[in-house]
Amino acid sequence: CSLRCRGGGSSTCSLRCRGGGSSTCSLRCRGGGSSTCSLRCRGGGRSTCSLRCRGGGSSTCSLRCRGGGRSTCSLRCRGGGSSTCSLRCRGGGSSTCSLRCRGGGSSTCSLRCRGGGSSTCSLRCRGGGSSTCSLRCRGGGSSTCSLRCRGGGRSTCSLRCRGGGSSTCSLRCRGGGSSTCSLRCRGGGSSTCSLDAGEGAVPHVP
């Protein structure tokens, strides 16, 4: 699923799931850093979900969807009332990856793929908004990946991992030279999720 929210504290969200359409949701959080959250959605199929989180900052969450089973997720928020969050859920093959970057221009990233553990990567971009990027990673198995992107701002990318084939991805960057990026890849069904604080907002590493 893909969850997009606007506003802090009590947010209005849009939840989109494969095989279950979309649903309008309400995300309510109490305490700074999204200590206790409740996600309520209207709609049938997999889009009827319940998200429950405990703990501040980096929370352990449980996402339950009708028709889509249950997935263990990690919710990380910056600011009070879940102002900027990143929701990552288990599910999918080795092409379901998570990319976290720090720094502008040439960034040091952490790429985590299912089936290949984690890898330390270097993301280099030319032009504002990640116009042309090259991702190089160290590590064996599916964590040895190659990311190629074309286009400015929101790029269409191709992520290729050893042992996991290829996947079509969407890379969104904030700031020139890809200072803060979010990589989303297809594959993994309804248990592959992402949570944004709003249109254009990008999950950031605390």
Q: What is the per-residue DSSP string for 5-72?
A: EESSSEEEEEEEETTTEEEEEEEEEETBTTSEEEEEE-SSGGG-EEEEEESSSEEEEEEEETTTEEEE
Please state, in angstroms and rounded to a whole number, the distance separating the CA atoms of residues 22 and 34.
24
Q: Give the Å distances, CA to CA, from 78 to 69, 83, 126, 206.
A: 28, 6, 28, 7
**Residue 143 φ/ψ, nearest 5 degrees:** -80, -5
What do you get for the CA distance between the two ends of the chain, in Å?
Answer: 23
Q: Are 59 and 8 in contact (CB under 8 A)?
A: no
Please tell me the pTM assigned to this model.
0.32
Digit-coded pLDDT (tens) for 133-179: 566 665 433 345 566 665 544 455 666 554 444 555 555 554 433 33
Query: Higher-confidence residue: 197 or 138?
Result: 138
* Phi, psi angle pair for 174, to nearest 5°: -115, 130
What's the mean pLDDT in 90-106? 46
Q: What is the pLDDT of residues 44-69, one digit of tens each?
A: 333 345 666 555 444 555 555 544 44
Q: Which two tokens stand for residue 154?
A: 């929101």
